[in-house]
Amino acid sequence: MGGRAQATLYSKKRFFRLYPAFIPISIAMLALYMILPNLSQGGREISLASSLFLIPTMYGSPALSVSWTLMHEFLFYVVFSLFFISRKAFWIVLAVWSGLILVAPLSGVDGFYAKFILNMHNLQFSVGVLCALYYHQKTDKGRSEIKPGFFILGSLVMAMLIATLGDVVGVYAKLLNGLLFGMVILSLISMEISGVLSSVFRSKILLFLGAASYSIYLIHNPFLSFLNRVGAPLANVYQVNVELIFIGAVIASILAGAIYYKLWEKPVLALSRKWIKKG
């Protein structure tokens, strides 16, 4: 399979991984805001392009609040698709892009789309690529040279830096966050390979929650918002502990996401894989 064909296959897989699970919830939220325009407490203007097609627009916000992260994710997928066409070109583009992101806050970049492309959040994708590269270089045939202790210590150091320097470094705190989570992921991967806490990592419940995590991510915010509107008045009337309501709402949102995954995302993913294979 040629580079362009691989890039096309990758793009199809990424599209079907993200978009089909996203669109029903986004449409539901969009319809809700159209029927009840005062529902949003912030009084924000809703963008159809962002809500339906994950296209960033300077006027209006997506109906589903977490959509902004998916826009950045799709941007990274466009860049990463270059990896299958020319790896050299990909590394050059990634290095230049990362460098521009680093200097953007210092140069006063203006313009909505320039700020979107050079947003510090995008640098966290570069951190993820470096983590993946490091993993493949240090892992061979199921044996890992990655030392969990080193990355656990590094994670603690990064957490301390974020806690103490977060306000000082400003937007660069997002880079520190990316480095922190990169170290946490490498620590967990190395512990899984080495057999440490293997029973935990192979837990069926955790494996299922991992598979359903995208659905949970999509549904948790609107579901929590709904439960908050319903639960807050009840807490005042019946004198229910607020912390208990919060815990119950979190558990309920996880269950809602898990049900959505079983009923919609998982079947659609299975169908999309069959369609891609036939194509």
pLDDT tens readout for residues 71-129: 999 999 999 999 999 999 999 999 999 999 999 988 878 889 999 999 999 999 999 99
Q: Please report, for the chain, the start and end positions of each structural domain, with discontinuous segments joined by +.
A: 1-74, 203-279
- pLDDT tens, residue by residue, 140-195: 655 666 677 777 777 788 788 777 876 777 888 888 888 888 888 888 887 777 77
More confident of the two residues 146 and 206: 206
Terminal-to-terminal C-alpha distance of the chain: 13
Token couple for 1: 């399979």
pLDDT of res. 11: 95
Higher pLDDT, 275 or 42: 275
- Please tell me the distance from the alpha carbon of residue 22 to that of residue 66, in angstroms, as a whole number: 10
Q: Looking at residue 43, what is its pLDDT?
A: 62
Whole-number Å distance between alpha carbons of 180 and 175: 9
- Please give the pLDDT value at position 51: 96
Predicted TM-score (pTM) of the model is 0.89
Q: What is the largest CA-CA distance in the chain?
A: 65
- Residue 241 pLDDT: 76
